[in-house]
């Protein structure tokens, strides 16, 4: 007889063995199923190894160890050790060890760029006195309008009705008849050669040149007029310009040249023509004829400068200074 306490073990043990036997059968069955079932393979992960047929681009024959034939592009003779002939472009004599002569282009003295050894040419600045500025500028505009409104149209009309030789003859006549101004001015300056030339010109042109209409003294004897006046004579004596003055009709001047122009007035034979209306008319013809020969000059001058008044003043002073400085 079995103890009652051992009876539960007798029941549990067989049951446990039975459960273990059943579980082992199930596990072996599942293992057999897992080993026999094929595993799906992705075609992307494992590609089939396939031999690619050659397309001929890389023919193994081209890379054989056989030496390549010489195509003549690189001739070994061109790289021979023979010396090249001298073409004369680079003469060795030019690179001799002889010292290069100093051409003084870079003299040592030139290093001192700020050397004060050389004399500095100082340009003399001529100070122009213009105490009558407002009057002068007003007269400048008056003469400007007089030119564009009266002188220029008259000169163009004069040009239209007169031939060129007539205008040249008129200019020669007035130059010949105003000889006393140039003769006296040259004489007072001590220029006897020029005064003698003016006297000879007057004699030849008045007689042979038909009262000065023609200029045979210049054409045949090369006796040229010197174009002197009393204002230049005063300048030769060291008299300064004085204040700048713009006169109506007569244009730019200075106090010195105004005095000189007064002397020219009394030396000109045109002043003594009678009646006075004849004198004024003849001088008006001279003014128109002179304006014809300078048509376009004043227009170009005005267009060239922003302030024509100031530039006209400077130009006049410079021009007269150059004339005074002439020998």
Q: What pLDDT band is residue 145 in, cutting at 50, 70 and 90?
A: very high
What are the distances in angstroms from CA 186 to CA 72, 129, 176, 206, 233? 94, 28, 15, 20, 8
Average of pLDDT values for 116-136? Answer: 72
* pLDDT tens by residue, 190-215: 999 999 999 999 999 999 999 999 99
Judge whether residue 51 has pLDDT over 50. Answer: no
Nearest to 264 by CA among 181, 148, 203: 181
| Confidence band of 261 (pLDDT split at 50, 70, 90) | very high
pLDDT-derived band at 142, boundaries 50, 70, 90 = very high
Give the mean model confidence (pLDDT) for residues 176-198.
Answer: 95
- Res 253 pLDDT > 90: yes
Query: Which CA distances in Å does 306 have to 144, 298, 311, 318?
Result: 15, 14, 9, 19
Alpha-carbon distance of 195 to 108, in angstroms, equals 55
Helix (H, G, I), strand (E, B) or coil at 235: helix
Model pLDDT for residues 220-248, shown as the tens digit of each residue:
999 999 889 999 999 999 999 999 999 99
Binning pLDDT at 50, 70 and 90, where does residue 96 land?
low
Of 195, 163, 161, give the one whose Cα is nearest residue 179: 195
Whole-model pTM?
0.61
The DSSP call for residue 13 is H
DSSP 8-state symbol, 56:
S
Measured in degrees and rounded to the nearest 5, phi and psi for residue 247 equal -100, 145
| Cα→Cα distances 97→88, 89, 92, 100, 104, Å | 19, 18, 10, 9, 20
Q: Report the range of poorest mean pLDDT among 22-26, 181-185, 266-270.
A: 22-26
pLDDT confidence of residue 301: 93
3-state DSSP call for residue 194? helix
For residue 17, pLDDT beyond 70:
no
Query: Which one-letter DSSP state was computed for residue 72?
Result: S
- 3-state secondary structure (DSSP) of residue 240: coil
Angstrom distance (rounded) from CA 211 to CA 10? 179
Task: Output 76 or 160, whichever has higher pLDDT.
Answer: 160
Give pLDDT, residue 127. 78
Summarize the confidence of residues 265-274 as an average pLDDT. 93
């Amino acid at each position: 007889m079995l103890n009652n306490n051992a009876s539960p073990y007798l029941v549990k043990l067989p049951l446990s063995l039975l459960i273990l036997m059943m579980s082992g059968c199930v596990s072996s069955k599942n293992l057999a199923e897992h080993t026999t079932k094929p595993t799906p393979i992705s075609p992307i992960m494992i590609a089939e190894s396939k031999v690619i047929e050659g397309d001929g681009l890389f023919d193994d024959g081209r890379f054989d160890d056989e030496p390549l034939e010489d195509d003549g592009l690189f001739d070994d003779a061109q790289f021979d050790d023979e010396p090249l002939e001298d073409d004369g472009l680079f003469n060795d004599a030019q690179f001799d060890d002889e010292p290069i002569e100093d051409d003084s282009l870079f003299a040592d003295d030139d290093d001192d760029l700020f050397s004060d050894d050389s004399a500095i040419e100082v340009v003399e600045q001529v100070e122009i006195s213009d105490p009558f500025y407002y009057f002068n500028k007003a007269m400048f505009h008056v003469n400007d309008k007089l030119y564009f409104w009266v002188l220029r149209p008259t000169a163009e009309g004069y040009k239209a009705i007169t031939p060129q030789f007539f205008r040249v003859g008129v200019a020669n006549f007035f130059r010949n008849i105003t000889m006393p101004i140039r003769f006296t001015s040259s004489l007072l300056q001590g220029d006897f050669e020029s005064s003698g030339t003016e006297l000879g010109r007057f004699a030849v042109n008045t007689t042979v040149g038909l009262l000065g209409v023609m200029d045979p003294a210049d054409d045949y004897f090369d006796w040229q007029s010197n174009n002197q006046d009393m204002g230049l004579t005063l300048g030769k004596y060291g008299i300064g310009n004085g204040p700048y003055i713009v006169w109506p009709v007569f244009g730019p001047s200075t106090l010195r040249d105004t005095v000189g122009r007064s002397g020219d007035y009394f030396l000109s034979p045109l002043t003594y023509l009678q009646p006075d209306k004849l004198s004024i008319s003849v001088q008006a013809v001279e003014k128109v004829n002179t304006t014809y020969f300078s048509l376009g000059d004043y227009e170009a001058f005005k267009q060239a400068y922003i302030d024509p008044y100031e530039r006209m003043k400077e130009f006049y002073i410079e021009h007269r200074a150059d004339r005074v400085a002439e020998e």
